[in-house]
């Protein structure tokens, strides 16, 4: 019995480790004014997979992409995070659910303003979920730090 449990545990561990990583992220900041920056969080998604928008319909079961910012007293966020990319409105007739999703690439853009002319960084995490036509991977959190200079 112990051998069977060990084999099952090893198989499960292999399955978890063998999961693809369908999204790669890059984090940059472009100066747009004297103390203003456009912070870009770019997701590149491998073919056949998709990433969910921050805003989902009421009947969605997908986990939306979410950014959480660490506090920095030198930085003020301006407005909401914009999504730049071709959003797809997906409807699953079998399950009767809809989702707002991206394939290929999407850039999330946050405008920030420095409270003084200083060099600092903006950090946080992005939590997201990816799915293909057959399965969804568990949500993943990725920490990031973006230099503002």
Q: What is the pLDDT of residues 62-98, one digit of tens each?
A: 899 999 999 999 999 999 999 999 999 998 888 888 9
Condensed to tens digits (0 to 9), the pLDDT of residues 121-137 reads: 999 999 999 999 889 99
Condensed to tens digits (0 to 9), the pLDDT of residues 111-123 reads: 999 999 999 999 9
| Per-residue model confidence (pLDDT) at position 19 | 63
Domain membership flag for residue 66: yes
| Per-residue model confidence (pLDDT) at position 2 | 39
Single out the residue of 90, 88, 122 nearest to residue 106, CA to CA.
88
Single out the residue of 112, 101, 110, 106 nearest to residue 40, CA to CA.
110
Tell me the C-alpha distance between 139 and 130, whole Å. Answer: 7
Number of domains within the chain:
1
CA dihedral for 57, 91, 105, 135, sign (positive or negative): positive
* pTM of the full structure: 0.85
Domain membership flag for residue 15: no
Domain membership flag for residue 77: yes
Q: What CATH number should be reported for the domain holding residue 61?
A: 2.60.40.1250
| Per-residue model confidence (pLDDT) at position 50 | 96
Print the SS3 string covering the chain: CHHHHHHHHHHHHHHHHCCCCCEEEEEEEEECCCCEEEEEEEEEECCCCEEECCCCCCCCCCCCCEEEECCCCCEEEEEEEEEECCCEEEEECCCCEEEEEECCEEEEEEEEEECCCCCEEEEEEEEECEECCCCECCCEEEEEEEEEC
Domain membership flag for residue 10: no
Domain membership flag for residue 3: no
Domain membership flag for residue 53: yes
**Which residues form the domain of 90?**
21-148
Domain membership flag for residue 31: yes
Condensed to tens digits (0 to 9), the pLDDT of residues 28-51 reads: 999 999 999 999 999 999 999 999
| Per-residue model confidence (pLDDT) at position 123 | 98
pLDDT(3) > 60? no
Domain membership flag for residue 2: no
């Amino acid at each position: 019995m112990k051998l069977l449990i060990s084999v099952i545990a090893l198989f499960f561990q292999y399955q978890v480790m063998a999961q693809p990583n369908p999204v790669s992220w890059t984090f940059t900041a472009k100066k747009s004014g004297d103390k203003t920056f456009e912070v870009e969080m770019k997701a590149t998604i491998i073919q056949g997979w998709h990433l969910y928008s921050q805003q989902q319909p009421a009947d969605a079961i997908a986990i939306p992409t979410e950014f959480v910012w660490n506090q920095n007293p030198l930085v003020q966020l301006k407005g909401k995070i914009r999504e730049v990319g071709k959003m797809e409105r997906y409807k699953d007739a079998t399950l009767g659910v809809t989702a707002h999703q991206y394939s290929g690439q999407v850039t999330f853009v946050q405008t920030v303003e420095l409270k003084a002319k200083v060099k600092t960084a903006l950090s946080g995490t992005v939590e997201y979920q990816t799915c293909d036509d057959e399965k969804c991977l568990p949500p993943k959190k990725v920490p990031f730090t973006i230099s503002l200079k």
